[in-house]
């Protein structure tokens, strides 16, 4: 079979690429799973809709925001973020760097003093995340939030982590905001996710399904196995071979490179430098309804294995049965940590439930009525000192072979659903310009 464009993966970036290629250029879209959506998927179990961990829409104003609205129509809730941090047995508002009010005074003093010292004596920055935090927020905020939280999330000492990802994800604060938030319960909204959208019905899967309904045919349960980049051909699990002019891959960049026959040694070496973590996502259905009205909570302290817990029943009244609540827990680990390790996963679930009872997030009479675990791997592509130079070697090679590796894992980046939609659109536009 010969197609101008072959797209691998029907997550948001692959689906969006197909949508924007439209009818003008023939393409084949292949997905290894039996359903579309990639990470933007949900399963229904015992009346609960569980996402592959919380997936909230933080929409910037660009054409993909309009696309999401048109796809979901009335199936959208618009919510004001209600999130916080739990540390020193205290809940404080998000973000930590603007809201220390309520913490022990010693902690508040360390944070505020460190921040002022950082402002008074600007430091030269090395590019690593540790130095970036010290320069922008000071040692107190580092010690009480940034270092612990990020080491848990990225599973890497903060001195090995680069600051290349912080962009929109870490809100900056002024002296006035830090002081106001130390002396009072500051209600000012910070950051890109101060408000968010979420489907009313059927979880985040409804977005992927709506998008897939607008694209052409998706070949499900069809895995790419091998790529001959010289002859421009892909071999699939069914034995089918497709020839292409342009290949769009949205699978993990490491997986793509592993499939390419005759990969140059320098590119293989660069691929070996790409690091990632995995996430164990525990989803719980609880009865009766919890009193908690939070959307999610961050846990910077080492004594808690999870870095974040979210309450999905607070995103929509229709993603769980009556008189119940649902929540998700995220624990980061090394690649392969949970492969076939059901014993460890069960231990994590038990420990999580016990710690949530201890903190008071599960009330005395709360019963766990359903559990669903997902292992997400790769989950976060790690921004270390070798990431950028390795990506340059890899992308220079892929360009010469007519391969576009896009999306969160194809581009090997820390990005969101809207970015995936934008990747798809940009790639389709550039392919149309080249081939039409
Ligand atoms: C823990 C976590 C929390 C997140 N929370 C949010 C959030 O709240 N809001 C937000 O906007 N974003 C969030 N994201 C990011 C969001 O999930 C991604 O940006 C987006 O879904 C990526 O879409 P994609 O199409 O690029 O990749 P994917 O969704 O990974 O799609 C790739 C597809 O390729 C398929 N594939 C893989 N190998 C093959 C093969 N060999 N052959 C054929 N197909 C193959 C996969 O099955 C998959 O369907 C989160 C991500 C994580 C890890």
HEC per residue, 17-79: HHHHHCCCCCEEEECCCCCCECCCCEEEECCEEEECCCCCECCCCCHHHHHHHHHHCCCCEEE
Q: How many domains does the chain have?
A: 3
What are the φ and ψ backbone dihedral angles of 111, each rounded to 5 degrees? -70, -50
Q: How far is the CA of 393 from the centre of ligand 1 (A)?
A: 24
Q: Is residue 49 a part of any domain in this protein?
A: no
Q: Is residue 342 a part of any domain in this protein?
A: yes
Q: Is residue 63 a part of any domain in this protein?
A: no
* Domain match, 11 and 159 both: no
Ligand 1 atom showing the smallest separation from residue 259 Cα = 41
* Domain match, 10 and 153 both: no
Task: Dump pLDDT digits (tens) for 402-430.
Answer: 999 999 999 999 999 999 999 999 999 99
Largest CA distance in the chain: 69
Specify whether the CB–CB gap between 378 and 337 falls below 8 A.
Answer: no
Q: Is residue 48 a part of any domain in this protein?
A: no
* Domain match, 244 and 288 both: no
How far is the CA of 383 from the CAs of 177, 272, 397, in angstroms?
A: 29, 14, 21
**pTM attached to this predicted model:** 0.96
Of 337, 360, 376, which marks where a domain is finished?
A: 376
Q: Is residue 76 a part of any domain in this protein?
A: no
State which of 12, 35, 38 you would mutate to test the pocket of ligand 1, scoring each by most atoms of that ligand within 8 A of its C-beta: 38
* Domain match, 254 and 178 both: no
Q: Which domain holds residue 409?
A: 2-40+206-272+384-435
* Domain match, 285 and 352 both: yes
Number of helices (H) and strands (E) in the chain: give both, helices first.
14, 18
Residue 354 CB-half CA count within 13 A: 9
Q: Is residue 213 a part of any domain in this protein?
A: yes
* Domain match, 283 and 267 both: no
* Domain match, 417 and 329 both: no
Tell me the residue ranges of DSSP E strands in 229-334.
233-236, 241-249, 278-287, 296-298, 308-310, 325-333
* Domain match, 284 and 267 both: no
Report pLDDT for 48: 98
Task: Dump pLDDT digits (tens) for 8-46.
Answer: 999 999 999 999 999 889 999 999 999 999 999 999 999
Q: Which of 282, 306, 248 is nearest to 371 (CA)?
A: 282
* Domain match, 299 and 285 both: yes
The band of 126, judged by pLDDT with boundaries at 50, 70 and 90, is confident
The band of 2, judged by pLDDT with boundaries at 50, 70 and 90, is confident
**Ligand 1 pocket, CB under 6 A:** 8-14, 30-33, 38-40, 53-56, 223-224, 250-251, 255, 279, 330, 376, 379, 407-409, 415-420
**Is the dihedral angle over the CA atoms 271, 272, 275, 277 positive or is it negative?**
positive
* Domain match, 156 and 231 both: no
Element (H, E) at 93: strand 90-93
Say if strands 308-310 and 90-93 run parallel, antiparallel, or are unpaired.
unpaired
Q: Is the pLDDT of residue 1 over 80?
A: no
Q: Is residue 285 a part of any domain in this protein?
A: yes
* Domain match, 228 and 154 both: no
- For the domain that residue 428 is a member of, what is the CATH number? 3.50.50.60
* Domain match, 389 and 267 both: yes
Ligand 1 atom showing the smallest separation from residue 417 Cα = 11
Q: Is residue 354 a part of any domain in this protein?
A: yes
Q: How far is the CA of 336 from the centre of ligand 1 (A)?
A: 18
Q: Which of 201, 417, 410, 416 is nearest to 427 (CA)?
A: 410
Query: Collapsing DSSP states into helix, strand and coil, what is residue 205?
Result: helix
Q: How far is the CA of 39 from the centre of ligand 1 (A)?
A: 4
Euclidean distance between CA atoms 160 and 381, whole angstroms: 14
Task: Dump pLDDT digits (tens) for 76-121.
Answer: 999 999 999 999 999 999 999 999 999 999 999 999 999 999 999 8
């Amino acid at each position: 079979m010969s197609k101008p464009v072959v797209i691998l993966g029907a997550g948001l970036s692959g689906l969006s690429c197909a949508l924007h290629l439209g009818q003008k250029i023939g393409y084949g879209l292949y997905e290894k799973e039996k359903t579309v959506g990639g990470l933007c998927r949900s399963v229904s179990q015992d009346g609960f809709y569980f996402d592959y961990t919380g997936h909230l829409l933080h929409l910037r104003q660009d054409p993909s925001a309009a696309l999401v609205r048109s796809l979901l129509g009335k199936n959208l809730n618009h919510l004001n973020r209600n999130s916080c941090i739990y540390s020193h047995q205290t809940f404080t508002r998000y973000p930590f760097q603007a809201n220390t009010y309520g913490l022990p005074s010693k902690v508040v003093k360390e944070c505020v003093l460190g921040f002022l010292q950082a402002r008074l004596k600007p430091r030269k920055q090395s590019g690593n995340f540790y130095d970036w935090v010290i320069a922008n927020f000071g040692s107190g905020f580092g010690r009480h939030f940034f270092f612990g939280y990020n080491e848990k999330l990225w599973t890497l000492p903060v001195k090995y982590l680069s600051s290349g990802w912080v962009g929109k994800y870490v809100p900056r604060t002024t002296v006035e905001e830090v002081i106001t938030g130390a002396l009072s319960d500051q209600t000012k909204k910070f950051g890109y996710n101060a408000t968010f959208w979420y489907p009313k019905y059927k979880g985040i899967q409804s977005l992927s399904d709506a998008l897939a309904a607008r694209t052409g045919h998706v070949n499900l349960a069809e895995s790419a196995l091998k790529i001959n980049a010289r002859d421009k051909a892909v071999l699939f699990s069914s034995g089918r071979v497709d020839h292409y002019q342009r290949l769009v891959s949205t699978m993990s960049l490491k997986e793509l490179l592993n499939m390419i026959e005759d990969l140059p040694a320098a590119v293989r070496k660069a691929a070996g430098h790409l690091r990632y973590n995995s996430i164990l996502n525990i989803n719980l259905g609880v009865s009766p309804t919890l009193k908690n009205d939070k959307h999610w909570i961050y846990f910077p302290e080492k004594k808690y294995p999870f870095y974040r817990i979210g309450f999905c029943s607070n995103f929509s009244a229709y993603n769980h049965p009556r008189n119940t609540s649902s929540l998700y827990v995220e624990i980061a680990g090394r690649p392969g940590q949970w492969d076939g390790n059901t014993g460890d996963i069960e231990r994590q679930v038990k420990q999580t439930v016990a710690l949530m009872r201890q903190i008071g997030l599960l009330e005395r009479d709360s019963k766990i009525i359903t559990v669903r675990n997902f292992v997400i791997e790769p989950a976060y592509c790690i921004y270390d000192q070798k990431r950028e130079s390795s990506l340059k070697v890899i992308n220079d090679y892929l360009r010469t072979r007519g391969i576009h590796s896009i999306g969160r894992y194809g581009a090997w980046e820390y990005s969101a659903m809207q970015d995936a939609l934008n990747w798809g659109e940009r790639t389709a536009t550039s392919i149309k310009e080249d081939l039409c």
